[in-house]
Chain A
Amino acid sequence: MAVTAQDIDIGRTGSAGSGGEAANEDPALAALFKAYVVCATVWLLFGTAVGLLLAFKFGAPDFWAAKYLTFGRLRPIHTNDVFYGFASLGLVGTALYVTARSCGTRLYSTRLAWIGLWLFNIAALAGTIALDLGYNWGDLEYREWPWPIRLVFFIALLVTVWNLLATIARRSSHDIYLSNWYIIGGFLWTCVICLVAILPWYQKGLGQVAISGYFMHNAVGMWFTPLALGLFYYAIPKVLNRPIYSYALGVLAFWTNLIFYPMLGGHHFLFSPLPWWLQTTAIICSVGMLIPVLGGSANYLLTMRGRYHGRIESYPLAFLFIGVLGYLIGSTQGTVEALRSLQAMWHFTSFTVGHSHLTMYGFVTFAVWGGIYALLPLATGKNPGRLGVAMHFWLALVGVTIYVVALSIGGSIQGLDWIRGLPFIQSVMDMKPYYLWRGVGGILMFLSHIVFAWNVWRMTAGQPGNAPSPIMEPEGEVAA
């Protein structure tokens, strides 16, 4: 049996002429979405400017070596700002929009959403200032902010998830659309993770190591990943005007992500004093993650099948496509890295930095951009310029490719140097050209962010551009 476009009455989700329907129907939601995107963009520019400075400190460690600009202070500022400033605000903003629209209702409380935005921003700003002044919680990756600031972030999460749950509760449809499973799952899991990470009895000894692995990896896999995947399940069908290939596969990926992800953080501490069984469990769960990753990626790619030309005509789709590839390649690479034989070579090397940029940038950041380019014009009625979006796409893609390839090769050489027992300084010298290429990639990525900021301006407050509608024309037959 074939389901046709006529059967399901699609093709009225938005077009060049009908952009801004959300702005007309729900101006409060459109204003909120704009504010989240603008704030996320500011944090992206700031956080990656710091990252670029850090990249060049590898080649010139004495450059701007004043106390407030040392590597030790700037590095956590970079990671925390792009995590909790840019990516979190971008994903929360799109989550609020997706939830309200897919539930066919208005947000439960616009005021709560604004309060959440203020709290997220206050946490990110206070965290940045604290870290630069030297108030660092220690060697706890991605939770370097002093705990009172992390508490503010936690309250922001609670406020937002309450708002989302109440919105879903008043939905007009019988079912809860798949995107909302991922969004709510991501919020609830992250509340648990943040709470566990703040408990005082896990702040020392081996418990601290175990919880550090638990938090640092779950902050990625149980916060950014479900929100980005939920965004995919809404934005890809919307842009293509075609249903997701298999809804049931999306549900399976959701539950397998929940089964396997929470325990895999220990693979960052292989060969450490952590119990051997915990390390092995982490490796097994890392392999199990192939199920949601391969199944989920195949689901997205099969949804796009036969519309390859669309990735040229529709830039949101191009961003979403790269995001899916980033998810597939980065997460599969993560599974491979978790194996003891390979971890022995890559642990502590720059390879891991390349991996984290492949996932957080190639997957999450491209997903955020794809979601914004797909949905923000529908909310505001303003499209970006075609040239601006093209420049953003290619600068970011070429930049991150150079970055990841350079650090993957350099990191492998670094690891082999250590295995061979060469003097440490030899590995530093061997990395020199790769650090330079890392800086080149970083420059291109940062330039793309400036162009993105310009595109956001055009989609919000400035003159709209000439890019076509993010929504493609529907096909005659949408499912076989």
Chain B
Amino acid sequence: MQNMLMGPMWGIIAVATVVGLVTLACFIAMFRYLTHPGEHNPDHPKYSILRRDR
């Protein structure tokens, strides 16, 4: 209904492609870290925070 406000088609495609790739990469990274959290080094901050704070 508001087609006149949508702007040029190629601009929309360009924006959608860039945004889509960024979003897809973020989703892939999310699943990567969910399945392989890693971080086994005992000196990693996620372990050191559990020690006495100071």
Contact = CB atoms under 8 A, between A and B. Distances in A.
B50 to A, nearest CB: 4
A24 to B, nearest CB: 12
Contact of A10 (B5, B45, B50): B50
A259 interface: yes
Contact of A276 (B5, B19, B38, B54): B5
B27 interface: yes
A383 to B, nearest CB: 19
Interface residues of B, number: 29
Name A's interface SS. helix
Contacts of A102: 49, 53
A246 B27 contact: no
Contact of B30 (A1, A13, A238, A294): A294
Interface string B14-54: 00000100110011011001100111101011111111111
Given A246-B39, A252-B29, A177 B45 contact: yes
A172 interface: yes
Contacts of B13: none
A7 to B, nearest CB: 5
Contacts of B44: 243, 247
Contacts of A8: 42, 47-48, 50-51
A140 interface: no
A9 B50 CA distance: 8
Q: Which of A13, A178, A248 has the most CB of B within 10 A?
A: A248
B9 interface: no
Interface string A1-21: 101000111101100000001
Given A10-B47, A237-B50, 19 more contacts: A7-B42, A7-B47, A8-B48, A8-B51, A12-B51, A13-B51, A101-B53, A104-B54, A175-B48, A178-B45, A234-B49, A237-B49, A243-B39, A246-B37, A247-B46, A249-B30, A291-B27, A302-B34, A479-B39
Interface of A: 1, 3, 7-10, 12-13, 21-22, 25, 101-102, 104-105, 172-173, 175, 177-178, 234, 237-238, 241-249, 252, 256, 259, 275-277, 284, 287-288, 291, 294-295, 298-299, 302, 478-479
13 contacts: A8-B50, A101-B53, A173-B48, A177-B45, A178-B46, A243-B49, A246-B39, A247-B44, A248-B33, A249-B30, A252-B30, A294-B30, A295-B33
Q: Report the 8 A-B pairs with minimum CB-CB distance, sorted nearest first.
A: A246-B37, A276-B5, A249-B33, A8-B47, A10-B50, A101-B53, A104-B54, A295-B30
